[in-house]
A and B are shown apart, each in its own frame.
Chain A
Amino acid sequence: MNTLLTKKKEPIDKLAAASGRSLGAEALRRMLRSPVAITGGAITVLFLLLAIFAPLIAPKDPYERYLQDKVSLGQGIIPGAQPGFPLGVDDFGRDYLSRLLVGAQQTLLVGVLATVIGVLVGVLIGGLAGAFGGWVDTVLMRLVDVMLSVPSLLLAISVAALFQKPSQWTVILAVSMIGVPIFARLLRGSMLSQRGSDHVLAATSLGVKRTAIVFRHMLPNSLGPVIVQATLTLATAILEAAALSFLGLGDPDPNRAEWGIMLSRAARQFLDVRPELAYYPAIAIIVVALGFTLLGESLREALDPKNRR
């Protein structure tokens, strides 16, 4: 009853302890009550299912050029929606619906891999900086500062431009670099703020070794913000990958079914001939990016110990 009258916001741990639930369970409960979280979660799950089962669901072979002879870009003809091809075909005469479905797989791959690499490298850098402090911290953080001093797209462009032959992997690598400084800063900040906290001081005074402190006490507490950021980064990764494709740094293989690639090609090459071919992958990207963003934001709200409840 007090909590309604106090201006100070009760730490969620105390509240949760009072109601007998762990932080994770309390967060989950909150999320299940939030329409934003449910929407985000639903989209994410749908997307994941699609990515996994796409090859089974796709009505046709996404790579076979069924109606290629009916396509004539020079004359501005691409067949549209018709029986057997509910979303029409692309400039190679391939069934667009199937390509979109299978595209979920490739798009998810790009997003997840770019994010995971970013997390791993970033957490490593930030963790080392935060754990050791001193000159290690200074050097590593200076490097991070430099990465942050370049606008994200330009950073991705620089990395992608290093490679003679762009491919899906160069795109993934380039995009992952955007996330590295973010996660590095995040983890370092978390470790720094924890170093002075009571639970770490207690552990140290009890003689717990430094590695144990880092891995068993500090990292688990940093997990929450990292997961939140990773979810949000996934969304931007897909968008940045699409931008790289648009600029010509993406995978040139016309067979690859990835939404960003499909969008760039359609927008640049045949937007005036058949605009839907751009709209479909665009909508797919928007919905998925939105879904991950909603999920990430509601996760952040749910895990925030300062929430008034």
Chain B
Amino acid sequence: MLRFLVRRLLQAIPTLLVLSILIFAWLRALPGGPAAALLGDKATPEKIANLNHVLGLDQPVIIQYFKFLGRAITGDFGSSLVSSQPVMGEIGTYLPATIELGICAMIVAVVIGIPAGYLSARYRGGVADNVIILLTLVGVAVPVFFLGYMMQDLLAGPLGLPSQGRQAAGLDATSITNFAILDGIMTSEWDAVWDAILHLILPAFALATIPLAVITRITRASVLEVLNEDFIRTANSKGLTQPVVRRRHVLRNGLLPVVTTIGLQTGALLGGAVLTERVFNFRGLGFLLAEGIERRDYPRLQALLLFGALVYVLVNMLVDVSYGLIDPRVRVR
């Protein structure tokens, strides 16, 4: 088991290395050259020359790359052109917000998606099934940012939900980890916890739309397949009760592909977060990225893109490993 884990980790390293090479190349390909890009408006000839030296642009490409790698590993990505803060620091500050949003969105997607997919499969061909299928198809056809605006426009007012931001203006909540809910609980500031939750609702649902649709579809397809398997017939021939058959036989097998899907959908979340956070002015990494794009803040872009890929690779690796935990056929190696 441990060997499996280590092997997967080692497999991920070449991918990450190639990724770092590509990002390195990407920076070199930017208009005006990397130094100009990294300095933006503040570029003056001396500054450019300076930065060129720091980046080692006068040296062979290999050395440049290793300098870049060295800086990347120590977390030195320079300072943001927009905020003049070290990019790594920014990432640290705003990461918890996106994690909170992402987790909420994934919870929504899973808690609604899996039962919906199961019901759809169980009552296949019925009205509920057709409605659910239609909703999942529409769900992936709606542009996420448009959905966000619509929700702001149509739902915020009537439901009494905040349409922007992470925290109500004027609410002075103590911030320790910058996980709003966690902080509020730790300091027993319950109004802060409630406020954080309210601010998360709309963006989380908007962000959850695509993962929800996909999880529902995959659950449905998988459960349908399992329902036709011979061992379900065996389970029924044993006279087991319906709940037992459902839990131990149908779902235990049917949910396997769903686990993989959750991992893949984290990627959709990362991309979707950029759009959702922008629309809702929710200050997380997605917002940073969106702002960075608009203002051509290359230091930020470089770091965030690398970070996003890193997270995605790690999550998928975790998913792979967990698959080994839940499917015994994969385990024995």
Smallest CB gap from A232: residue in B: B140
Bits for A128-150, please: 1 = Cβ < 8 Å to B, else 0.
00000000000000110110011
The complex places the Cα of A242 from the Cα of B289 at a distance, in Å, of 17
Instruction: Tell me if B138 is interfacial: C-beta within 8 Å of chain A.
Output: yes
Q: Which A143-180 residues sit within 8 Å CB-CB of chain B?
A: 143, 145-146, 149-154, 157-158, 161-164
Instruction: Tell me if B274 is interfacial: C-beta within 8 Å of chain A.
Output: yes
| A164-B305 CB under 8 A given contacts A151-B312, A239-B141, A263-B146 | no
Chain B interface, number of residues (Cβ within 8 angstroms): 43
| A290-B313 CB under 8 A given contacts A154-B271, A157-B305 | no
Instruction: Tell me if B290 is interfacial: C-beta within 8 Å of chain A.
Output: yes
Instruction: Tell me if B275 is interfacial: C-beta within 8 Å of chain A.
Output: yes
Instruction: Tell me if A55 is interfacial: C-beta within 8 Å of chain B.
Output: no
Once the chains bind, are A243 and B144 in contact (CB under 8 Å)? Answer: yes
Smallest CB gap from A308: residue in B: B228
- Which of chain A's residues have a CB closer than 8 A to the CB of B289? 157
Query: Which of B29, B137, B312 contacts A162, CB < 8 Å?
Result: B29
- Which of chain B's residues have a CB closer than 8 A to the CB of A267? 145-146, 149
- Which of chain A's residues have a CB closer than 8 A to the CB of B30? 161-162
Once the chains bind, are A242 and B143 in contact (CB under 8 Å)? Answer: yes
Once the chains bind, are B15 and A290 in contact (CB under 8 Å)? Answer: no
Q: Which B243-293 residues sit within 8 Å CB-CB of chain A?
A: 267-268, 270-272, 274-275, 278, 289-290, 293
Instruction: Tell me if B176 is interfacial: C-beta within 8 Å of chain A.
Output: no
- Which of chain B's residues have a CB closer than 8 A to the CB of A264? 145
Instruction: Tell me if B239 is interfacial: C-beta within 8 Å of chain A.
Output: no
Once the chains bind, are B141 and A235 in contact (CB under 8 Å)? Answer: yes
Once the chains bind, are A150 and B143 in contact (CB under 8 Å)? Answer: no
- Which of chain A's residues have a CB closer than 8 A to the CB of B19? 146, 149-150
Once the chains bind, are A246 and B137 in contact (CB under 8 Å)? Answer: no
Once the chains bind, are B141 and A290 in contact (CB under 8 Å)? Answer: yes
- Which of chain B's residues have a CB closer than 8 A to the CB of A17? none
Once the chains bind, are B149 and A247 in contact (CB under 8 Å)? Answer: no
Once the chains bind, are B15 and A145 in contact (CB under 8 Å)? Answer: yes
- Which of chain B's residues have a CB closer than 8 A to the CB of A142? 14-15, 18
Once the chains bind, are B15 and A163 in contact (CB under 8 Å)? Answer: no
Instruction: Tell me if A299 is interfacial: C-beta within 8 Å of chain B.
Output: no
| A153-B274 CB under 8 A given contacts A7-B230, A275-B153 | yes
Smallest CB gap from A151: residue in B: B267
Pull 28 A–B residue pairs with CB atoms less than 8 Å apart, ordered by A: A142-B15, A145-B15, A146-B18, A149-B19, A149-B313, A149-B316, A150-B19, A150-B309, A153-B271, A153-B272, A154-B271, A158-B26, A158-B305, A161-B301, A164-B31, A235-B141, A243-B144, A243-B271, A247-B274, A247-B278, A248-B294, A249-B293, A267-B146, A267-B149, A282-B143, A282-B146, A286-B141, A289-B140
Closest 8 CB pairs of A and B: A153-B271, A164-B31, A151-B267, A289-B141, A290-B141, A151-B270, A151-B271, A150-B309
- With A151-B309, A153-B274 known, 11 other A-B pairs at CB within 8 A are A142-B14, A146-B15, A152-B271, A161-B293, A243-B275, A247-B294, A282-B142, A282-B143, A286-B143, A287-B141, A290-B138
